Each structure stands twice: as structure tokens, then as C-alpha cells.
Structure 1
Amino acid sequence: MTTHTYPASVDVAIVGSGPTGAAYARILSERAPSLTIAMFEVGPTVSDPVGAHVKNIADPEARRGAQVASQGPGAAAATVAGPGDVGAGDRKARPGTYLLDDGFRMPGEDGLPAAAFSSNVGGMGAHWTGACPRPGGGERIDFLPDLEELLDEADRLLGVTTDAFDGAPFTALVRERLAAAVDDGREPAARVQRMPLAVHRRDDGRLVWSASDVVLGEITRANPNFALFDETLVTRVLLDGGRAAGVEVRERRTAQAHTVGARVVVVAADGLRTPQVLFASGIRPAALGRMLNDQSQVVFAARLRDAAAQEKSAAGDGALSEQSGVSWVPYTDAEPFHGQIMQLDASPVPLADDDPAAPGSIVGLGLFTAKELQWDDRVDFSDDETDGYGMPAMRIHYTLTDADRATLDRARARIVELAEAIGEPLGDRPFTMPLGSSLHYQGATRMGTSDDGRSVCSPDSEVWAAPGVFVAGNNVIPTATACNPTLTAVALAVRGARRIARDLAG
């Protein structure tokens, strides 16, 4: 499946190997298997199977090696190392990611100081928490009548389950206490519940986390018309008469440039690098990079009240402790934040040392808040300066509004209430993560219903200004969300892939 013999041309070129790029390859392999597909990834292959989640790597040293290999130009930089490190004040990325080293904050603005990337086969999907909640209320894209069916399909591709932690001894207790503090007055769908997760349990009981390997599936891996090219930078999309005509790539091992023709190009490079590729290609509609929005994040921890030690101890060697599971407090328009409450070592951020008397009884709480959309919140690109890959350098313009700050204040108060409902809060106050920490950058190639200058792509994700060029990723989502966006982004990719299958294969 992985090769470096570049074809002269293919039917579909996919830029990026994360979950949304993989979704395009999967749907096309299922619906139009005669189409030739080339997928290009700037980073290396770090797992077996290709594109797998690094948490599935049992050996700790091999796992750390995969994370470092994913850190691209930031491979030598320090990453978050352990409990308490997140509050140290240094700019540190999570393992497997690297920070935007310059241009993350403009004078007088808030910026995104924790803006980060992953460069590896599988993209950020090889390092994510696997949370796949559905959007609710104002998070939903109201002009897509088929959204629910698309989300169902995204569940299938990602292997989403809700029962992986049902055997955890504290999970019912956590959910019961959260429900008592949250559920009153909420519709059933917005009440405390199990977090939908892209994870399944093997016959031997071990958890397996989904990433691009699961999305690709055996049908894509077995497709003789599909090829994956790792360590290959796509420098620009080629156009002919304004339409997609292929991609120009540079093999990073040799620095040799190649041209690959394509009838359709899908740019799924991530929330910030997808608009970067369009900019480098001369595709620069007014909305490119605009309406950028991230989810501010508040974290806290609590020790479960009256939690007795269990026979099952915390798992070692990087495997997850399965004591309190993962619970979900859904977003509502009245409370515009989304909650992930999870056993400590499933949290993306180390919060505190565990309690040796009752392993797993310290629970991490996180609330993500929705951002007020602003036209001037954006990522710009330079015609003169370049980044570590030689692509146009980024400059982030980003400012919290008074409404955003008020929502954050509400989230800080609410997370304390939730911690007190669960048990004994740890520390005096919750910690507000540096902006960009969520890694959920949205809106920079946003979807719209018409080519009115306020969106980059159509409801099928085709770029208005460049027919045959499609965009994918969280960056396509046009609404302000608080919930994890991956499920929605994959759902939108399904819609785009179906459109390509219809157009190219009939």
C-alpha cells in the first residue's frame, strides 16, 4: 500500500492521511473501486498497521519513538512530560505533536499560543482521545438535511462504540453523580451519558483505539487502485482553466519534485495546513482562513468521594486504567460547553498523581467552550516567508470576545460544581488551557450554501473558486462547536466522497 513510485496521473489525489482523508479513500474504494487514488502524507509511517493509533503500541519505548517521529520540525522540542507539567508556563506540545513556532500571536491579540500539528501517517488521528460526540443545538449544520445519516456513516467508519468502559467499577458512580448535577430540565439527548468513543475491545480484553487504519479498513488496503505515499510534501494543487488538474509533490527523502495529474484533488491536510496548501496553489477566495475558531478548554480534577479500592489495579505500560470510564456532558445552547469526564490517564492533559489507596479514583474533568465567530479571526499566509517545510508561513489573528470570556467564566464555575458533585476537588481552582490546546481548529475553509464570499466550499466540500478541488477536516465545519469535531468532519468527508464517486464513476 505504501510506495514511492509516483504515478503520472490518478483519478483522485488526496493530500493528508488523517481520518477525513482516509474517509475519502474508504468511500471511494467502496463505491467506485475502479478509480485510481493516490494519498500523500508529509510525515513518516509510525505504526503497524499503517495509520494506527500510537496508544495501541504496547511497548512504551516504541510508542515514544512513534510520537517523536510524528513531531516533524519540532521533534527535538520538549513535550508535556507528566502530572503538573501542563501548568509550568512553558510552551510545550503534547507528545506526538509540535507547536507553531512563530506567528501564533499578533500584537494586542490573544492568538493561539498552543497551536500544534502532527506529521505522520494517520495525522492527529494517531494521537487523539477518540471522543466522537454528536453535535447538538447551534453546533449542528442546519442546511444539511442528511446530517444524521452522515453521522451514522461516520460512526461506522470510525468504529464508534459506547460500551467499551461499561465494566469499569467507578463508571456508573461517576455518571450518577454528574447526572444529579446536570440532567434536570434537559432533553434526553442532552443528559449525561456514555461518551461515544472510537475504540473497541479485543477478545483478549485489551482496548484498541481507532485511527486512520480503521477508517481505511481492509477494503481500502486491499484496493489495488489505492496507493499511499508517506514523507511526501504536496507543495501545491495544479489547476487547468481554473479546475483541478493534479498536484506538485516533493519527496522528502530525496528532495526530488514530481507532478501527479488528477481529475480531482482532496486537500485534507488539517485545520491550518489545508488553507495553507490552497494559498500556496493560488486558490485564495475571500473567506480562506477566515472565521477561524478553536475551543477554549477548562480542566480540573476531583477525587471520587467514598471510592473504595478495587481488585483491578491501574494498567501499566501506558495502557489505560479502566476505573471510571469516559462520561459525556453534552453541549446545549443554554450551557454552551461540552464536557469530557474521564479516568485520569485517559485525559489528554496530566492533572494530578493518582491515589494509591484507590487507583483510578481521581477523575479528570474538561469543559470545552464554543467560540463566537468573527470574520477577522483568521490564519494568514506569507508570500515571502516560509515554514519548516518551505510552505507559506502562517500568522494567526485571534481574539476572544466579551461573550467568549463570559462563557469561559461560566465554564470555570460549572466545572467546580461538577467536581464537587463527583467528590473532592483537587486544587483551589480549575486551570484554563492556553488557547489552541484543544487542537480542534475549525472554519478556515468553511462550508456554505452559496458562493457569497463568506464560505470556501459547497455543501459537498468542493471549493467554489476551484472546481474539482475538495477540502476536508475540521476546517470545513461552518458552525461554532464545543464538542469534539472529528465525527462531524468525517461525516462531511463522506458527503464529499459520495459526490466524487457519482461524478467520476457514474
Structure 2
Amino acid sequence: MSLATPGDDAGRAYPRRVDVAIVGSGPAGAAYARILSESAPQATIAVFEAGPLVSDPPGAHVKNIENAALRAEAQRRSEGPRPLGPGAPADTLDDYAADRERLVRPGTFLLARGWRQDGEDGLPAAAMSANVGGMGAHWTAACPRPGESERIPFVDGLDELLDEAERLLEVSPKVLADAPLADVVRARLGAALDEGRAPGREVQPMPLAVRRTADSRILWSGADVVFGDVTRANPRCGLYPDSPVTKVLTRDDAVTGVRVRDRRTGEEHDVEARHVVVAADSLRTPQLLYASGIRPRALGRYLNDQPQVVLAVRLRDPGPAPADTPGGPITAQSGVSWVPFTDAEPFHGQVMQLDASPVPVEGDDPVPGSIVGLGWFCAKDISESDRLEFDESEVDENGLPAIRVRYRLTERDHENIERARAAIRRAAQALGDVLDPEPLVFPPGASLHYQGTVRMGERDDGRSVCAPDSQVWGVRGLRVAGNGVIPTATACNPTLTSVALAVAGARAIAHDLEEKPCSNAN
């Protein structure tokens, strides 16, 4: 087996048994494969992905594909059963601020039905990706650390785990910090917003999972970076695209393996495994557990999204046009700035360059980098009643019970959205000329930051699905991973935290494998 050579022939062979089966190849699933490849090199690992291989190396961010036609093809192939049309944009910022209830991003596909129930807000923009690398092939690469009440209080060594997640994702706050207009943006934001903020929570460069090449090109990190060379070179780690897992197999309250369907032939295969990690995403992970008869009380409950407010502005007096800067798929004129979450202001701000104005701009052409977009993400008022339900009378394209979303914005949520609208106006006015008549509130689900549906907890009390090491309560050898594990109300981008939690879970598996001999896949 080899992660680097997954094979495209219909006659491929699945292993009969492995030590660890990982369901999903996004950043969290990739983190399990990476840590196990480093810490338990004798372990046999299989990574099963429902979608196709769309980039090289496996899991690479599609924005690193410079050819626009090839990038669009990769995105269409990531859009599962409902790909966008051939004329759809290939840039995630194209049409970004469209005022549509069913807002969908390139590389993703919407939940077909069940996204809202009568009298509720629902998640009309609930979306997923189906490809090697998951949403990590399409994300914005923002990796802020959680702060104040966003932090999970019962996870031991959280800061060290976040350090490790930054290593795996290759996170740095410096790559775009020296962009020509970045100092202007941060200085103006700081003057307007920093008063009263605790040290470390002031306006600052956004930590980003991006890297600069020797020729000054800037590349986005995807799951390929998390897998790393050690996983790609691991002959005991195999990657299986187009291989949806349809059931987690159990016996006597312990996992025994997974049932996987080869999408190319339609045949199903049972693969024995001592450990199973389900990292399918916050919608499909609880769906697979439910379909497998694993149904703890909290499964699918405590669903939360991040209400999102956006606004565009033209920088006032930006100075002379910056010299051209190489950047490849990323332009770096104004960088990416971060307004951290605080408990006093429970939202998180991201300010980044827009390559084109969302509305016509009068007068001279704008200085490159001087049109910036502001996005404020709000922490959700978490409720057990916000949940996913699963309809066994109807199945989706993978033959799993259909998803039904039960979701409401509370009075507190609406209050926080209004506070975020006021805060984003204040920030925009500090920067320059506001281009939109009013801040736009995106439809629920547009953040793509769904959390809580397989949340961790300190004890098995019916309010969580897994322990602090991501072990599912009552099912030995089964772990869950991804943003759905996060139990707190967050406003910051959740990927760094979910990868940190995956590191802890992978270390626990590695420790178990140290004590018991590993098997050989065959």
C-alpha cells in the first residue's frame, strides 16, 4: 500500500485487516495518519475517502493548481452528487457576498433536502465536499487559536496540542504580515478596536496555513501538508479514494472494522480493524455512527454553526500603488488581519483582500489590495435541541439514512448578530469608504464551520459522544474526529483546534499499539 500511489484501476484490492481504519481524508483524518506514521511506524493504516482524488499530491489545496481550467475541474469533481455547472466560478471569493439563501461555494455541494423544518431557521447553506483532502482542499487556511471561553477547559495540554497542530498544518502569522498594505489595515483596525482587550487578543496578523516557496510563490496547506512526507513514504499506510464507508462494524461493545463500498465496481468489502477513526465531517460522522447502530444520546445534538456578517470597504488614502508582488494563487497586497474573539465581544473578525470590488467603484481604479472584505463570525448560543435527525425511511446517495436539520437562532444569537453588525461597521469606517449599504448576514450554514455533533465531554453523562481523547463512550476502539468534536461555542476558524484534538486521539492509539503487537495488512 502507498498513500502516494492510490491507483486508478477498478481491480484494486482492499486489505483484509489493518490496525487502524480512518474514515475521511481531511485535515483531521490526515493528522491521525501522520501521527501514527511517526509514532507507530509498524502499524498498518487504511484511509478511506468517499470522493475522488482531485489533486497531486493527494489532498493538496486546489488553489495551488494554477491552471484555471484544471482548478475548476478539480472543484467540480469535489462537488459530489450535485456538481455546479460548467460556468460556475473557480475562485471561492467570486460571488462570495451573494445574497442568496442557498449559498454554495466552489468545491462543495449543498445538503439536498431536510435542511430546514417548518418554523425553524435550519441550515439552508449546509454544504460538504467529497474528495481526497475534504474541505481542506478548499478552505481559507485561517488558523487562529481559540481564546477565553472558546478554549476547551478539560483537555490536558491544549496549548502543546495546538503547537503540534500548527506544525502539521505549517501555520505561520508571518507569511503575509509584511504585505505592502497590511500595516495600514492593522494600524487602523487596532486604533478602533484594541482598547480594553487583553494582551494577546489585540488586532494582529492572521495565523495562516500557507507557505512561501523559494521563488516567492505562496501556497495553501491542504491535507497533503498534514499527511507529510513521512505518511506518503509509509508503505503500511494506504489511501482508498472513491470508497465510502457504509458501516462501522462492532461486536461486544468494541469495533471490529468497517464496511466499505468500492464506488467503481459497487462491491462491498469488510475490512477488519482494531481501531476505527471516523473523520467524515460534522454532518456525515454522526450519520455513519447512527447507520451503524452506534447511537449515544448526544449523537447529532448540540449542532452549532457560526453566524457570519460580511462587509466590503475601500481603504482610505492607501498611499502609492505597491510594486507587483509574486504570489501565484494568493495575492498579498493587504494580507490577512485578525480581530480575535473575546467573551466581551463574542465574535471573531477576518479582514482580507478582495481581488475585485463587489460593487462598482467610482473614480480612478482602486490601488491593488485596497478593496478589502471584512467577515465577522459569531459564537452560537449552544442548545441540545439544535440537532441532526436521521430518517431511515429515506437514504442519501451513499445509502445512509437521510439527514434532517433541526436548528434555530435564539434571541441571544440575534442580539450577537446585531452587535457584530455594529462592530463590523465600526471597523469598516476606520479603514475607509464602506462599499455596501449595510452589512450582509449570510444564511445559516454559510460559515462551513459546523461543530458539536459528536462533541467531547469530561464524563459519559449523556451530553457528549466521546471522551477527551475522542474515544466514543461505550465502544472500545472507536474514535471520532473533526470539527464536530469541539464542545465549546467558538467564533474562530475551528480547523486548528480539530487537528489538535486529532493529535491527542492519535497519540492514544499509538500508545495502545505500543503495548500490543501490530498486525500485517493482507
Give the TM-score category using the shorter length: over 0.9
**Structure 1 ranges of 4+ moved more than 6 A:** none
- What is the Cα deviation at residue 92 of structure 1? 3.6
Contact 2:101 2:125 in 1 (8 A): no
3-state secondary structure, aligned to 2:476:
coil
Q: 2:79 aligns with which of 71, 87, 96?
A: 71
Matched, 1:375 2:375: no
Q: Any unmatched runs of 5+ in structure 1? A: none
Matched, 1:108 2:116: no
Q: 1:339 aligns with which of 345, 349, 371?
A: 349
TM-score by structure 2 length?
A: 0.93
Q: Any unmatched runs of 5+ in structure 2? A: 516-522
Provide the rounded CA distance (Å) in 2 between the counterparts of 1:200 and 1:154.
15
Provide the rounded CA distance (Å) in 1 between the counterparts of 2:110 and 2:231.
32
TM-score by structure 1 length?
A: 0.96
- What is the Cα deviation at residue 311 of structure 1? 4.2
Provide the rounded CA distance (Å) in 1 between the counterparts of 2:274 and 2:462.
25
Provide the rounded CA distance (Å) in 2 between the counterparts of 1:454 and 1:400.
20
Matched, 1:58 2:66: yes
After the TM superposition, which residues 210-289 of structure 1 pair with which residues of structure 2 at under 5 Å, given as runs?
Answer: 210-289=221-300
Cα distance per residue 1:296-337 (max 9 Å; x no partner): 000001100002342434879x72221110000000000000
Label 1:352 to 1:160 Cα distance change in 2 as closer, same or farther (>3 A).
farther
3-state secondary structure, aligned to 1:68:
helix
Provide the rounded CA distance (Å) in 2 between the counterparts of 1:166 and 1:377.
38
Provide the rounded CA distance (Å) in 1 between the counterparts of 2:214 and 2:98.
39
* Aligned residue type for 1:338: H
Equivalences, count: 502
- What is the Cα deviation at residue 106 of structure 1? 0.5
3-state secondary structure, aligned to 1:456:
coil
Provide the rounded CA distance (Å) in 2 between the counterparts of 1:84 and 1:500.
43
- What is the Cα deviation at residue 471 of structure 1? 0.1
- What is the Cα deviation at residue 352 of structure 1? 4.4
Greater Cα offset, 430-439 or 351-360:
351-360
Cα distance per residue 1:122-149 (max 9 Å; x no partner): 0000000000000011100001131000
Label 1:94 to 1:353 Cα distance change in 2 as closer, same or farther (>3 A).
farther
Contact 2:303 2:382 in 1 (8 A): yes
Which residue of the partner structure matches residue 152 of structure 1?
Answer: 163
Percent identity of paired positions between Structure 1 and Structure 2: 59
Provide the rounded CA distance (Å) in 2 between the counterparts of 1:84 and 1:455.
38
Matched, 1:43 2:51: yes
Provide the rounded CA distance (Å) in 1 between the counterparts of 2:321 and 2:27.
36
Provide the rounded CA distance (Å) in 1 between the counterparts of 2:495 and 2:400.
25
Contact 2:63 2:220 in 1 (8 A): yes
Which residue of the partner structure matches residue 438 of structure 1?
Answer: 447
Provide the rounded CA distance (Å) in 2 between the counterparts of 1:372 and 1:88.
24
3-state secondary structure, aligned to 1:63:
helix
Provide the rounded CA distance (Å) in 2 between the counterparts of 1:79 and 1:116.
16
Matched, 1:429 2:432: no
RMSD over aligned Cα, in angstroms?
1.7
- What is the Cα deviation at residue 79 of structure 1? 5.2
After the TM superposition, which residues 117-156 of structure 1 pair with which residues of structure 2 at under 5 Å, given as runs?
Answer: 117-156=128-167
Contact 1:250 1:257 in 2 (8 A): yes
Contact 1:84 1:352 in 2 (8 A): no
- What is the Cα deviation at residue 20 of structure 1? 0.2
Label 1:392 to 1:476 Cα distance change in 2 as closer, same or farther (>3 A).
same
* Aligned residue type for 2:13: T
Contact 1:80 1:93 in 2 (8 A): no
Contact 2:219 2:330 in 1 (8 A): no
Which residue of the partner structure matches residue 18 of structure 1?
Answer: 26
Contact 1:169 1:310 in 2 (8 A): no
